[in-house]
Amino acid sequence: MAVGPVEYIVVGFPGNKFNGEIIPELSALVDKGLVRILDLVFIGKEANGDVVAFEIDEMEGLAGLGDLEGESGGLISQEDIEYAAAALEPNSSAGLLIWEDLWAAPFAEAIRDSGGVLLEGARIPAEMIGPMMENLPPAE
């Protein structure tokens, strides 16, 4: 079985202003077979600094999160939660998401099968690449 690249993101919501608009887009990626959710944890920091965390299967009533298809937990550790929570201000929250890029699995397998090894990779923030992309012709 080909395994695609696995990525993670921590998305912060200052002031706990999570409106759920992310969920339909994430669901669409899953439904189209582009990504597979491996783990998702919602992290909150209360006014007194206490940290709370909920796995995806504990969030059924929260803005459609319970409807997301995917593996449920096991990859995100307590240390990962503490790392993400350290960046949060009191009365804020974050989502910590790990997913597999299913769309890239055949390419990743071809790299491995040809003896290649990944030496480095990174995601370029939209704020950095956006101005450069404006000068490129539109994708077809």
pLDDT tens, 54-81? 887 666 555 555 556 555 568 999 999 9
Mean pLDDT for the stretch of residues 107-127: 91
The whole-number pLDDT of residue 59 equals 62
- Mean pLDDT is lowest, of 7-16, 50-59, 84-93, for 50-59
Q: Does residue 49 belong to any structural domain of this protein? A: yes
Q: Does residue 1 belong to any structural domain of this protein? A: no
Specify the residue for token string 């992310």.
22
Q: Which domain holds residue 80?
A: 6-133
Rounded CA-CA distance 66/60 in Å is 4
DSSP reduced 3-state for 15: helix
Q: Is 118 in contact with 111 (CB distance < 8 Å)?
A: yes
Mean pLDDT for the stretch of residues 102-128: 92
- pLDDT at residue 48 greater than cutoff 60: yes
62 versus 83: the higher-pLDDT residue is 83
The whole-number pLDDT of residue 69 equals 59
pTM for the complete prediction? 0.82
The sign one gets for the Cα dihedral 81, 85, 90, 94 is negative
70: which DSSP letter?
B
State the average pLDDT for the chain: 87
Q: Does residue 68 belong to any structural domain of this protein? A: yes
Task: Identify which of 71, 99, 72, 95 has the alpha carbon closest to the alpha carbon of residue 7.
Answer: 99
Q: Using 50, 70 and 90 to split pLDDT, how confident is the model at 33?
A: very high
Q: Does residue 140 belong to any structural domain of this protein? A: no
Centroid of chain to Cα 140: 27
Rounded CA-CA distance 80/123 in Å is 19
The whole-number pLDDT of residue 71 equals 58
Count of the separate structural domains present in the chain: 1
Q: Does residue 43 belong to any structural domain of this protein? A: yes
